[in-house]
Amino acid sequence: MKARIISIANQKGGVGKTTTAINLGAALAMRGKRVLIVDLDPQGNASTGLGVERDRRVQSVYDLLLGDVSAAKLARETAVDGLFIIPSTMDLSSADGELMASSRRVMHLRNALHHRDTPYDYVLIDCPPSLNLLTINAFVASSGILVPLQAEFFALEGLSQLLLTVREVRSTANADLRLEGIVLTMFDRRNNLCLQVEDEARETLGDLVFETKIPRNVRLSEAPSHAMPVLNYDPSSRGAVAYRSLASEVLARHEQELVANV
């Protein structure tokens, strides 16, 4: 079977996209899945957070998008068994302009990742904090979009443009694209605003909102500076527990889909 490709996206920065890509990927790998993270953000934070130093990124996701290098050749091992990453560099910041010159500008990543003989069960794409051509390429390549949503005022209003983009991609380039789910991040149950955002999200989006909430947790913030997921850095921390729970929910939803499609 082909890998399940999931874009982790939100055009707002600082909501936990990279943290989710790293730690959900690690949690899935620890459940026996082979997982590839594609670092599609020119800032390259997912690459740094998984220990790929900048001077070792001779080839990167730029070569996957605009070169002729396969995902298998670009993938780097990480400290987590079964978890791999294609790193990013600042070269990617010029990719938008180069993609614009291509008649198949939104199909590059799809063409690079869609192979039935892929060795991965999951491909997680860490998208940049914007709805640019890189993000559109990710959506066209993906079967689903997972949206980290910070529990703050106006959080849901920021989803509108993202959902409009999803609808447009679905109608023009990828009819199979769907919303994988919404995960509330930086959640503090002592904060009434967080609880209000959760209530509003569940009322508006129903079962699309994962039961798991990712808490504000200092260990989540510390782990990237040690170049490892929080599941390695502090396996018993609240952040690690939350991402293991999120991985269980993701797997359970996919198993239900498989049963329904039999």
Q: Find the mean pLDDT for residues 161-180.
A: 94
DSSP labels, 59-94: S-HHHHHHSS--HHHH-EE-SSTTEEEE---GGGGG
Q: What is the CATH number of the domain that holds 220?
A: 3.40.50.300
- How would you class 182 by CB atoms within 10 Å of its CB: exposed for 0-12, middle for 13-18, buried for 19 or more? buried
Return mean pLDDT, the chain: 93
The model's pLDDT over 130-154, given as tens digits with 9 standing for 90+, comes to 999 999 999 999 999 999 999 887 8
**Domain around 115:** 4-261
Q: Given this model, what pLDDT does residue 261 score? A: 77
Region 220-239 average pLDDT: 96
> Is the pLDDT score of 34 beyond 90?
yes
Q: What percent of the chain has pLDDT over 70?
A: 99
Inform me whether the pLDDT recorded for 1 exceeds 60. no
Domain count, the chain: 1
| pLDDT exceeds 90 at position 117 | no
Tell me phi and psi for residue 195, to 5 degrees.
-65, -40
